Amino acid sequence: MSAFAADWLRLREPFDAAARNADLARRFGAVVAREPGGPRRIVDLGAGSGANFRALAPLVGGHQDWLLVDNDPLLLAAQAGEIGRWSREAGWSCGSIDDVMLIEAGGARWRVRAQRVDLAVSVENVDLTGCDGVTTSAFLDLASGEWLDRLCALLARHAAPLLATLTVEGRREWHPALPGDARVQDAFLRHQARDKGLGPALGGRAASRLAQGLTARGYEVTTAASDWRIGAEHRDMLLEMVSGTVAAASEAEPAASALFAKWSAERHAHVRAGALTLEMGHLDLLALPPGRL
């Protein structure tokens, strides 16, 4: 699974980058700024191969210390390679001392450290002491309401700002439309609601649940659309989306596998003809605690 996950994260990264809301990222960067010259200390939950750091560090700006938290040892191991490649492509120097990566990005210094934590069991044990802000990406829709309540309590205890990007919103619009779209989507959503290790997943309801929980604790919450727009030219991504959708739908509703296979064949024909596009709804969420508005 980890090898597949690394390939999938690499495939989706450019679509994530195009979809992210830069205004919320810049507001987050302004809020977490410390005294002149001091580093911003940021914890990224469910960090995977470090894509959130790579996307946000240039927008946040200034000196930064990042802790990248995940429970997949292969993805944690992949972080150094992915961050190193990204740094070189940007023309920045990148090295390491012990387990800390050091990036010199113009006049900014970025330190990155990985930590393995099973967030399902011990999110409360993530040390936010001295942390200026928390981030996460494409992660919270995998969580249950109970887990999100635990996260809200942890953030509020430390008065930590949160930037949560690319949370699934639930909407998928395939063009051209097919009669089977609604049936496929219904089965896919039922599969999405299964337990992914953090309790029964909320999927498209996660952002609103998180917003409610943090608003009740005095946070100011702002959301913005961060939708994927996958054009006909992105054949590999479209094929991956079709195959992943059909696999999940068939697992949720095996009796309809023949119908889903027919839908898949039609979608593959659209891809070959350069006729298929997909828009997929996501939300970015910025939550600021009292006193940090």
154 DSSP β-pair partners? none
Q: Quick one: what percent of the chain has pLDDT higher than 70?
A: 97
**Stretch 62-72: mean pLDDT, rounded?**
94
CB 115 within 8 A of CB 67: yes
CB 77 within 8 A of CB 120: no
pLDDT tens across 76-101, in order?
Answer: 888 999 999 999 999 999 998 988 99
* 11-45: burial string, b at 16+ Cβ within 10 Å, e else: ebbebbeebbbeebbebbbebbeeeeeebbbbbbb
The CATH number given to 2-172+192-231+280-288 is 3.40.50.150
Q: Quick one: what percent of the chain has pLDDT higher than 90?
A: 82
| Pairwise pLDDT comparison (107 vs 155), residue with the higher score | 155
The answer to whether residue 35 scores a pLDDT higher than 70 is no
Domain positions in the chain: 2-172+192-231+280-288
Dihedral sign computed on CA atoms, order 18, 23, 28, 33: positive
Distance CA 210, CA 174 (A): 28
Distance CA 207, CA 87 (A): 32
The answer to whether residue 4 scores a pLDDT higher than 70 is no
Closest C-alpha among 179, 135, 172 to residue 285: 135
Q: Is 277 helix (H, G, I), strand (E, B) or coil?
A: strand
Residues 6+ apart with CB under 8 A from 178: 263, 266, 267
| Predicted local distance difference test score (pLDDT) of residue 36 | 61
